[in-house]
Chain A
Amino acid sequence: MPQPGHVLIREDILTSPTSNIVYSTLPNFYSDLVIDVSVKSTFSGRTDGGLRFNGDSGNNYERVYLVSGGVTTFTTRIGNQNGLYLLYTPGPNVPFTMEQSEFNIQNYNINGKFKSVNSILNDASQQSTVINGTWKNTSPITSITIFAITYTFDVGSRFRLWGIL
C-alpha cells in the first residue's frame, strides 16, 4: 500500500494576534519537514519574521535570497543573523492580502551537519522571493519557532507543519 508522503503534523489558525508559533515536540521519524504559512501582521506596513531552531537566538543563521519586485530583481546574502528571516508580512494597509510561503527543511533530524532551508515566498501584491538559508548548528532540530519581530501575526493567519517520509 502506498505510504502518504506528506503528513500533516499540526495546523494553527489564529483567533487572536500571536507573536510566536512554537513546535516544541517534533517527531523524529520523518526525512524532512515542510511548513506552509498564510500570514498577515498587525503592523501597518510590512514586517519581517522567520524561523528559529531549538530556541537558538544567537547569530547562527545566514541566508541568500533572490527577489522579483515585478520591475527589478535583486539578490542579497546576509550572514550572522539571530534567526532565519524568511517572512515579509503585509499588514492591514494591504487589504485582502496574505503572504504565502513554504519552508522546506531537509534532513532536520541529522546529527553532525548544518541544516538548510529552501523556501519560496509569494506576496502577489509586491514581490516573489526564493531564499536558501542555513542554521550553522549540527544538532538535530527538535523545536521550531515561527516569529514575527516587533508586531504580531494577525487573526486568520494559518500555519501548517508537515512531515515528509
Chain B
Amino acid sequence: MAVTSMNRSTVLNGRKYQSFLAGNYRESFEFIERQTTVGTSTLSVTFSSIPTNYTNLVIRYYTQSQNEISTQEALVLQFNNDTANNYTRIHFLQGNGTTPAAGYSGAAGAIWGGRSACQPSQYPNTYGVGEIYLFNYRDVSKKKMVMSYSGMENNVGIDTIISTGSWNITNAINSITIKNDSGLAFSASCFFGLYGVK
C-alpha cells in the first residue's frame, strides 16, 4: 500500500521502530484473511490456509442469515471438517432486554459462535456482530476452547450474549468452517475477518 500521508505519532513509548507504522499498532495482532459474501447463495465460509505461527486466533464478523422464519439464529463453527458430535456446543450468559438467561448445551456437531440476524426481507439492514476467540489452536495436547461475545438488535431479534464452548479433540486446527445453524445461506455483504494473536 502506498504511503499517501504522514502524521507525527502521538504515542510516546520510547521504543524505536523501522516501520512507517512506528509503534502505532498492536504487534501481537495480525491480519490473516477476510471473506465477504456476494449474493445470497453462500452456505458456508471456510478459512483453510491458517498459519501455524500464532498462539490464538480471532474471528470478527458481521452476519445475516437468509432465514425468514426465526427472529435470530446461531452462527456455528466446525474445525478440520469434523461434523461428528465432538463439540461442547455452548455455555452462555444472555440478555434479551427482558430476562437474563444462562444455559448449557452439550455434545453437538458444531460449536456456537454468536448470532446471525434473520428475516432479511423485513429487516434488510440489520446484521449480527461479534468476536470469536480460539485459544491454543495448534496445541496438540489440549482440547480447543472457544469464547465469543456477540449481539444483534432489531425489533424482533434482541440479544447480547457471551459464550464458551470447546472442540473436544486435541488435533491442531487447520481449517475453520462458519455457517448458519439452520444451514441456510448468508445474505450479501456479510464479512468474516481472521486474525492471528502471537
> A55-71: which residues lie under 8 A (CB-CB) from chain B?
62-67
- Which of B31, B60, B127, B158 interacts with A3 by CB under 8 Å? B31
> A1-26: which residues lie under 8 A (CB-CB) from chain B?
2-11
Q: Is the interface of A mostly helix, strand, loop or mixed?
A: strand
Check A77 against B96 for contact (C-beta < 8 Å).
yes
- Distance (whole angstroms) from the CB of B107 to the closest CB of chain A: 27
- A93 CB–B CB distance under 8 Å: no
Check A75 against B96 for contact (C-beta < 8 Å).
yes
- Which of B10, B11, B159, B189 interacts with A64 by CB under 8 Å? B159
- Distance (whole angstroms) from the CB of B155 to the closest CB of chain A: 8
Bitwise interface map of A from 108 to 136 toward B, beta carbon under 8 Å scored 1, else 0: 00101110111010000000001111101
Q: How many chain A residues touch the partner (CB < 8 A)?
A: 44
Collect the chain A residues with CB atoms within 8 Å of residue B129's CB.
104, 106-107, 116-118, 132
Among B34, B93, B99, B100, residue most surrounded by chain A Cβ atoms (within 10 Å): B100
Residue of B nearest to A163 (CB): B25
Bound together, the chains give a CA A110 to CA B195 distance in angstroms of 20
Check A66 against B93 for contact (C-beta < 8 Å).
yes
Collect the chain B residues with CB atoms within 8 Å of residue A67's CB.
95
Q: Is the interface of B mostly helix, strand, loop or mixed?
A: strand
- A54 CB–B CB distance under 8 Å: no
Given A31-B34, A106-B60, decide whether A132 and B99 contact each other with a Cβ distance below 8 A.
Answer: no
- Which of A11, A31, A66, A136 interacts with B94 by CB under 8 Å? A66
Bitwise interface map of B from 1 to 23 toward A, beta carbon under 8 Å scored 1, else 0: 00000000011000000000100
Collect the chain B residues with CB atoms within 8 Å of residue A2's CB.
30-31, 196
Q: Which residues of B does A touch, CB under 8 Å?
A: 10-11, 21, 24-27, 29-32, 34, 60-62, 93-100, 125-131, 149-154, 158-162, 189, 191, 193, 195-196
Q: Which residues of A does B touch, CB under 8 Å?
A: 2-11, 31-32, 62-67, 73-77, 104, 106-107, 110, 112-114, 116-118, 120, 130-134, 136, 138, 162, 164-165
